[in-house]
Amino acid sequence: MMLLIAMMMLFASSCVRRADIEFPPHTPLLVLHSYTAVGEPFRASLGKTVESTVVVPGSATLITDGWILLYEDGAFKDSLRYDPVLELYQTPVKAESGKTYRLVAGHPDFPEVESVASAPLGVPTLNVQHIKNARTNADGIALNDVKFSFSDPPLENNFYLAALFPGYPGNSIGCVYTYDPSVERYTEGLLPFDQSNCIDGKEILFTDKSFNGKLKEITISATYFDLQTYVDPITGKEHKPYLKRYNITESFYKYFKHTSILDFNAGAPTLSDPIIIKGNVQNGYGLFTVYTAATDSLP
């Protein structure tokens, strides 16, 4: 028995080889993020990358003494100035639909970065319906349907993000369902309203690939208790659930999609290829985007 154990230990040790892998040195780069709605002033955050092996507080990655320039349709528009309270760079200049904007940012210790974003046109909601107790999920819980329609602009590719919010202030809906194949990660199993096949209520992504230039109606289902009107017991004010729908850029769509997948798979072991978060900042990281938003209360 002792001989057998010794042979097994010798075999195991012969299969283990020490390998010293040297990674290339980390080169810090700027990180630029700016998400601006049409009609709102431009704001941006500026930070830096750090080594993956180093743990630092978020404030340690901020760049507070850099500079950011804003261009509109190729012409210089304004400089963004740093606000220490908001920890953001900002300007009173507001984004306008149909115009192309460019941010150029820099700091003496880093390579200059820049990013371009075109402001999309607004796509208003034509109709919203709230159908209560329309169906049930796999556990027999009643679901309400939210149907919304809009006219997709022709002759251009459009990218959309929708989100459902409950009446209770400060909350979000963690699980919604849909049959519509234009929606990313749409439900397609034998149990389409099973908890494991739902979509995050703030991550309803879709494109006009299958309905370009046409009238489009999408149905989203959520549990009835997530879509109830909330009455504040102190003020008596009613808060209705609502739908927000954004017309976004392609770069925002891809970035949001990749980060959503990363969050969805967090903590789950996988043998798939690593997820690369795609931004649109040259010589650095991050995202600059302009979008339009439409908000509709649910009847």
Residues 36-70: tens digit of each pLDDT: 999 999 999 999 988 766 666 667 889 999 999 99
Instruction: Give the mean pLDDT of 120-135.
Output: 94
The two structure tokens encoding residue 12 = 């195991």
Q: Is the pLDDT of residue 207 over 90?
A: yes
Please report which confidence band the pLDDT of residue 7 belongs to, taking 50, 70 and 90 as the band edges.
Answer: very low
Q: Tens of pLDDT along 226-283?
A: 999 999 999 989 999 999 999 999 999 998 887 765 443 444 444 344 445 668 999 9
**Torsion sign (Cα): 207, 212, 213, 215:** negative
Domain locations in the chain as residue ranges: 28-120+254-264+274-299, 125-248
pLDDT score recorded for residue 106: 96
Q: How far apart, in Å, are the Cα atoms of 106 and each of 29, 83, 188, 284?
A: 10, 17, 47, 10
In 95-155, which ranges are E strands? 100-107, 110-118, 125-136, 142-151
pLDDT score recorded for residue 59: 72
Pairing of strands 285-297, 30-37: parallel
Angle of CA points 249, 287, 46, to nearest 5°: 150
Pairing of strands 285-297, 242-248: antiparallel
Mean pLDDT estimate for the chain: 85
The Cα 207–Cα 188 span in angstroms is 18
**pTM as predicted:** 0.81
pLDDT score recorded for residue 206: 96
Least confident of 2-11, 50-59, 139-148: 2-11
Q: Is the pLDDT of residue 11 over 80?
A: no
Give the architecture-level CATH label for domain 28-120+254-264+274-299.
Sandwich (2.60)
pLDDT score recorded for residue 54: 65
Q: How far is CA 63 from the centre of its chain?
A: 23
Q: Is the pLDDT of residue 79 over 80?
A: yes
Tokens 């096949």 belong to which residue?
Answer: 197
Instruction: Give the mean pLDDT of 169-173.
Output: 85
Q: Tens of pLDDT along 91-121?
A: 999 999 999 999 999 999 999 999 999 999 9
The two structure tokens encoding residue 126 = 């034509």
The Cα 102–Cα 114 span in angstroms is 7
Q: How far is CA 243 from the centre of its chain?
A: 16
199: helix, strand or coil: strand
Instruction: Give the mean pLDDT of 11-39.
Output: 73
pLDDT score recorded for residue 277: 66
Please report which confidence band the pLDDT of residue 23 belongs to, taking 50, 70 and 90 as the band edges.
Answer: low
pLDDT score recorded for residue 272: 43
Determine which helix (DSSP H) or strand (DSSP E) holds 218, and give its type and residue range.
Answer: strand 215-223
Q: What is the dihedral of CA 267, 272, 277, 283, to 10 degrees?
A: 130
Strand partners, 83: 88
Burial class (CB in 10 A: 0-12, 13-18, 19+), 10: exposed
Residue 56 vs residue 199, higher pLDDT: 199
Percent of the chain with pLDDT over 70: 80
